[in-house]
Amino acid sequence: MKRRRRLHLKKGFYILVLVIVGIIVSTILYIKHNNYIHSNPYLLKQQGYNEKEINRVIGNNNIIKVLLSREYNPYLIDILESKYYIESNLDSYIKYKTKYPDKDYADVIAIINVTNGKDFYSNEKEVDMSKGDLILVNKFYHLSEDYEPEDLVNMEVKYATSNKKIRSHVYDAFKSLVSAAKRQGIKIYANTTYRTYKAQENAHMNARNQKGSAYADKYAARPGFSEHQTGLAIDVHTSLPNEEFVESETYKWLVENASTYGFILRYPKDKEYLTGFKFEPYHLRYVGVDVAKQIEKEGITFDEYYAYYVR
């Protein structure tokens, strides 16, 4: 009798243990499943992203947040991972990349940041003068007809061809640059510096009268759209065509040293689609030493720098 009761108890105990284990296991499974369907990998998968894409972004919550807030797009991750990505441009990047799938991402980002996909001279705005030495004048931003810097100074013939003016602090920087070059046996002097709106108007008009407006737009900025009106730009003198000037000691010295004095080469080779200007190896723009160094280090145009860091 006693023995049977004990057996009964034992059986009941085992069943109880089994039930408890069962409850624990199913609770764990439930929690696991529940966690999974609320996890980023699951949600991304539901959104249409494949395993490879998911593994790429896992851990980067900023990117995941954007991916989950939008429809699946095959370009989105690359765009979001691009160095010069600007959030407010996201729709434009996608639109542009969809239209030109062969363009690489860095180009898509740069083009949209600078042009917003618009043609030169098609979307004109006034220059934001509050940016000081970092004002951007290009084929989207123009100066007003009556803008003339207040601190223009006359340049000595030692530093420029006759009757040239430039902003005072740019002159100081340029004089340091010229002296440093001279110590290396290189003679640099300015050829074109500050240019008035009126003078630019005449230059553009003459070019247009001679060879038509397409030619004029290629070789001369429209009035208001020339950086020379800022008093921050200097064309150094050269009598050589570009292909020969880039082989000269002067150009090589400028490439290596201009930033030390706060200047950048404003219109680099193969960047016409961003700057709007053909390669001008002689055109210097003053932006200050720190910015010049950074632009040099990052290998970007001032237009790109402005879009990402200044605007």
State the chain's maximal CA–CA distance in angstroms.
Answer: 126
- Contact region with Zn ion (CB under 5 A), list: 21-29, 125-133, 145-153, 280-288: 280-288
Neighbours of 191 (CB within 10 A): 14
Q: Does 283 bind Zn ion (CB under 5 A)?
A: yes
Least distance to Zn ion from the beta carbon of 272, Å?
14
Contacts (CB under 5 A) with Zn ion, residues 109-168: none
Find how far residue 85's CA is from the centre of its chain: 8
CA distances for 238 relative to 209, 226, 243, angstroms: 26, 20, 12
**β pairing state of 263-267 and 280-286:** antiparallel
> Nearer to Zn ion by C-beta: 14 or 219?
219
Nearest to Zn ion of 111, 137 (CB atom): 137
Q: What CA–CA distance (Å, rounded) separates 114 from 99?
A: 17
**Interface stretch with Zn ion, choices 98-106, 170-178, 269-277, 279-287 (CB under 5 A):** 279-287
Structure tokens at 119: 């043609």
User: Which residue's structure tokens are 């529940």?
Assistant: 34
CB atoms within 10 A of CB 231: 25
Complex with Zn ion: residue 142 or 283, whichever CB lies closer: 283
CB of 227 to Zn ion, least distance (A): 7
Q: Which residue's Cβ has the minimum distance to Zn ion?
A: 283
Closer of 113 and 138 to Zn ion (Cβ): 138
Q: Which tokens in the block code for residue 125?
A: 């705005």
Site string for Zn ion, 217-246 (x = CB under 5 A): ------------------x-----------
Specify the residue, 81 or 148, whose C-beta has the smaller distance to Zn ion: 148
Alpha-carbon distance of 56 to 61, in angstroms, equals 12
- 263-267 and 165-167 beta bridge pairing: unpaired
Question: Which CB sits closer to Zn ion, 172 or 235?
Answer: 235
Q: For residue 223, which phi and psi values (nearest 5 degrees)?
A: -55, 135
Report in angstroms how near the CB of residue 211 gets to Zn ion at its nearest. 19
Tokens 């790109």 correspond to 304
- Closest separation in Å from C-beta 270 to Zn ion: 18
By beta-carbon proximity to Zn ion, the closer residue of 89 and 200 is: 200
Q: Which stretch binds Zn ion (CB under 5 A): 77-85, 101-109, 183-191, 281-289?
A: 281-289
The number of angstroms, rounded, from the C-alpha of 117 to the middle of its chain's C-alpha atoms is: 14
- Contacts with Zn ion: how many residues (CB under 5 A)? 2
**What minimum distance in Å lies between the beta carbon of 260 and Zn ion?**
21
Binding residues for Zn ion, rule: CB under 5 A, are 235, 283
